[in-house]
Structure 1
Amino acid sequence: MAAPTSSQPAVAARAASRVLPRGVGGGFCAFPESAPASLRFSVSRRRTARLEVKASANVFGNYFQVATYGESHGGGVGCVISGCPPRIPLTEADMQVELDRRRPGQSRITTPRKETDTCKILSGTHEGMTTGTPIHVFVPNTDQRGGDYSEMAKAYRPSHADATYDFKYGVRAVQGGGRSSARETIGRVAAGALAKKILKLKSGVEILAFVSKVHQVVLPEDAVDYETVTMEQIESNIVRCPDPEYAEKMIAAIDKVRVKGDSIGGVVTCIARNVPRGIGSPVFDKLEAELAKAMLSLPASKGFEIGSGFAGTDYTGSEHNDEFYMDEAGNVRTKTNRSGGVQGGISNGEIIYFKVAFKPTATIGRKQNTVSREHQDVELLARGRHDPCVVPRAVPMVESMAALVLMDQLMAHIAQCEMFPLNLALQEPVGSASSVPAFAPDLS
């Protein structure tokens, strides 16, 4: 069989489906004839095939689209936002508040890299209002130390993207991890700030995230009331846990590994209040599926659960089902919220809540066994500045991705379901969700 070419997309697709080589994921790239044999793969025992498919995976969303760009030690990072409605009040200060929550060097338990992460809106606004055209946001990198990565140019960091980027592309930006660095999330957080603002203006949606676990320190489920927890409580300490007692325990756990040059992981819990009913889609584009994809696209994320999650498997149906009732205002509500605010892939008006698990930071200041690009066994002691625990800085990232999902899904809902008059007996305008009271989940 001849090697697939760009004029034979169907053949290329069939060939690719026969084997899943290392490096396949996200967008695909073509392997030139000059590529090393180790970077090519065989789709039969006789021939070596080349995939020639569109490389993408840098754009998120369908209606409210965000394309991020830039690398950790390049000239800067940023995003281009397409599909934003016109006449939305927007200044750089709106985005800077969220970027300041994400930036490095905030405290002793984060990376010591010093970046102001000052954003500049280059297009898409006029006199403080969005124009409906693409919004370009740029943030320069100012504290690069490329020399810290000389060893990592030759050896792969265990559990990092160094090896898989080489398997896939055959070349990578060594300094800071390139696109795999958490600095890529600057564009997401900037766009998320805008999405948060629109959601609040349109439907009164409020999105909050907080740290609920660091290593073996676990915040009890009943320690936080999802209905009343505030941003002020979350931001009252450097670990972003709304419970002061558990916050101190989490900080102590991070300090313990930090001084040893090691790292630990944890969990971020996110809640979305006042989300209108009807947001999301059945089958393939379920709201929880879109949220899962968004969260698992974040650096270091390894797990996602919504509502009762895996704990729900311990219940019977009669115990787990959220029974309906009519509240005093005549709204259909649920007595419990084990569904996490989503049923059948569509929001039901209750609080949406989910958890995201983050692994320990891969780059650590301790010697580890690995291999070099020349396939030699080596010992690596990584240098550079890295978070001993990514979880505190992941909080605004999780909020931003949740906002981008809900904003995109809200626009999809309006486009499909609000072109004609509503069935007032069942539906509500997307701007009226604030009339539905929120409450904390009952997982008892």
Structure 2
Amino acid sequence: MNGNSFGRLFQVTTFGESHGEAMGVTVSGCPAGLELSEEDIQGDLDRRKPGQSKISTSRGEPDDVEIKSGVQDGYTTGTPIGMVIQNKDARSGKYEPFITAPRPSHGDFTYSAKFGTRNWGGGGRSSARETVNWVAAGAIAKKLLAQAGIELKAHVNQIGDIEAPEVSFEQMLEHSEENDVRCADSDAAAEMQELIEDYQERGDSIGGSIYFEARGVPRGLGAPRFDSLEARLGQAMMSVPATTAFEFGLGRDAREVSGYDRNDHWEFDENDEPVPAENDHGGLQGGISSGEPIYGEVTLHAPTSIPKTQQTVDWETEEVKEEKVIGRHDPVLPPRGVPVVESMLALTLVDFMLLGGRINPDRVDGDVGQYDTDYHPSSPRNE
């Protein structure tokens, strides 16, 4: 089975299944000298982990990360960083009715049709549980980007037909973690919460979307055509489970806007540098970053595991069946999807930063955690 790695210089390779023993990720290409601890990673894992609110699954996973390699004395060594997150509350028995009877709109049938077998506990490898690995890797990418002056954030901007008003980047930073929905507008968040709980009480689920933004991205990242920044970013976001649409800049609204109105007219900034006047392109022109904020949106469909009776078929007995998906599932995905989207944005950007030489691929700048030229075995660190 291929498709378990993401990135080129900053490469992430993951393993694990939803109800297996553990989840894990290896990060190759992180420069030496980055100060890194498990606490740096745990914060984002806590934002993604299950059981954190009424509108998330009740599965009791602490999602505690263990760094197994690539870090010594609190600093990255330049070798692969291995991380493991144990599954503490796996209960695969509830999925036995679906071993040969696929759940509606899941990967059960397609995985079995392709491989002739599958890990059927909780969806196995196809489960969104796997994104815990992405968030762990993304936390490292975020730290590298922060040292390069790049900051990013996401928030839930729509649930069902309830859409939040536009908010500033600063509002996202300040307010998106103040409610369970992770919407930076408190009034919209309250309406979204009520709608989610209504679907939850009916044994159903609802979809929504996540807005993301990155500030401080330099000009010149990306390349034309197949290696454009938006193409790679689209791949990253469309990899997020349940994603049905990825947009940047005006996105789908661009179909209603004339060429003249969409075009970003050029002007000079205070340093006499050419800059686009509006940034309707979302920080990307010709596949390359313009130096303006990169922004966009990811749409996630309603969770497919719902406790309503649905029809399936058993391919062994050739019987039509009525089954309920009994388990602990989210009634909505965007609130826990926010750190996942942030992580995929960070992983994409840090890869381009390394490819473009904006981050030294061998070691980060600065003296902390670095060896000097007088290194020898009897004196492993010269302070």
Question: TM-score normalised to the size of structure 2?
Answer: 0.92
CA distance in 1, matches of 2:295, 2:152: 10
2:150 is matched with 205
1:158 is matched with 104
2:186 is matched with 244
**Kept after mapping to 2: 8 A contact 1:125/1:131:** yes
1:383 is matched with 326
**Kept after mapping to 1: 8 A contact 2:155/2:172:** no
Q: How many residues align?
A: 361
Aligned match for 1:117, one of 63, 66, 87: 63
Deviation of residue 418 (structure 1)?
A: 9.9
**Does 2:187 align with 1:187?**
no
Aligned match for 2:84, one of 105, 126, 138: 138
1:319 is matched with 261
Q: In the TM superposition, what whole-angstrom CA distance separates every residue of 1:79-128 from its partner, at most 9, and x where no partner exists? A: 00001100000000000001000000000000010110000000001101
CA distance in 2, matches of 1:384, 1:61: 34
1:267 is matched with 209
1:177 is matched with 123
Superposition misfits of 4+ residues, deviation over 4 angstroms: none
Q: Give the 3-state SS of the residue equivalent to 2:303 in structure 1.
A: coil
Q: In the TM superposition, what whole-angstrom CA distance separates every residue of 1:279-333 from its partner, at most 9, and x where no partner exists? A: 1111111100101100111111111111001111111111110111111122221
1:404 is matched with 347
Task: For 2:207, give the aligned amino acid.
Answer: G
**Kept after mapping to 1: 8 A contact 2:254/2:262:** yes
Aligned match for 1:346, one of 267, 288, 310: 288
1:128 is matched with 74
Task: For 1:179, give the aligned amino acid.
Answer: R
* Structure 1: gaps of 5 or more residues: 1-54, 420-430, 432-444
Q: In the TM superposition, what whole-angstrom CA distance separates every residue of 1:247-273 from its partner, at most 9, and x where no partner exists? A: 000001100010111111100010001
Q: Percent identity?
A: 46
CA distance in 2, matches of 1:117, 1:194: 16
2:375 is matched with none
Q: Give the 3-state SS of the residue equivalent to 1:414 in structure 2.
A: coil
1:4-403 to 2 correspondences below 5 Å:
55-202=1-148, 204-220=149-165, 223-226=166-169, 228-374=170-316, 375-403=318-346
* Structure 2: gaps of 5 or more residues: 366-383
Q: Give the 3-state SS of the residue equivalent to 1:388 in structure 2.
A: coil
CA distance in 2, matches of 1:180, 1:219: 31
When structure 1 is superposed on structure 2, of 306-315 and 127-136 the one drifting more is: 306-315
Task: For 1:295, give the aligned amino acid.
Answer: M
Deviation of residue 207 (structure 1)?
A: 1.0
Task: For 2:187, give the aligned amino acid.
Answer: E
**Kept after mapping to 2: 8 A contact 1:151/1:382:** no
Q: Give the 3-state SS of the residue equivalent to 2:129 in structure 1.
A: helix
Q: Which has the larger radius of gyration?
A: 1
Deviation of residue 149 (structure 1)?
A: 1.1
Relative contact order higher in (CA < 8 Å, ≥ 6 apart):
2
Deviation of residue 213 (structure 1)?
A: 0.6
